[in-house]
Amino acid sequence: MLWIKALHIIFITSWFAGLFYLPRLFVNHAMVLDSATPDQNTSDRLKLMEKKLYRFMLPLALLALGFGLWLWLGYGISGAWMHAKLTLVAILIGYHIYCGKLVNDFRQNKNQHSHIWYRWFNELPVLILTAVVILVVVKPF
């Protein structure tokens, strides 16, 4: 089971790298679009980067979730802290899916948000990661 735990941590770390970086690309993309003279080449480059990163994040997320499920079933872990963690994981999955919607919005030139909104949006995975690590390590309840 230690190999499964190691793989779970590796894929979670990789998935979070994407969850941290993709919204940062959105910030830059929104700044390009908000400028007085939007640069189409830069916008096209950011669209490609967003698309490739999002596409790469999906298998990382699935592997992280798969190995996490394997650990959960293998150890039979339960408790209120686990329910709270799983709720945060569900929110994170929703965040990931919403990022895909935002990638499509940028691709179709339908972005509705400012770079300031994306700066705040970018903080959610940091807060979730902090809470999940505390729940898993400290098990406060």
Distance CA 74, CA 71 (A): 5
pLDDT of residue 78: 87
Distance CA 53, CA 59 (A): 11
pLDDT of residue 62: 98
DSSP 48-107: HHHHHHHHHHHHHHHHHHHHHHHHHHHHT--SHHHHHHHHHHHHHHHHHHHHHHHHHHHH
pLDDT per residue over 5-51, tens digit each? 999 999 999 999 999 999 999 999 999 999 999 999 999 999 999 99
Centre a 10 Å sphere on the Cβ of residue 32 and count the other Cβ atoms it contains.
Answer: 18
Angle, CA of 23, 7 and 68, to the nearest 5°: 75
Average of per-residue pLDDT across 123-138: 98
CA distances from 89 to 26, 37, 84 (A): 22, 40, 9
pLDDT per residue over 55-103, tens digit each? 999 999 999 999 999 999 999 888 999 999 999 999 999 999 999 999 9
Q: At what angle do helices 2-34 and 80-107 cross, to 10 degrees?
A: 40
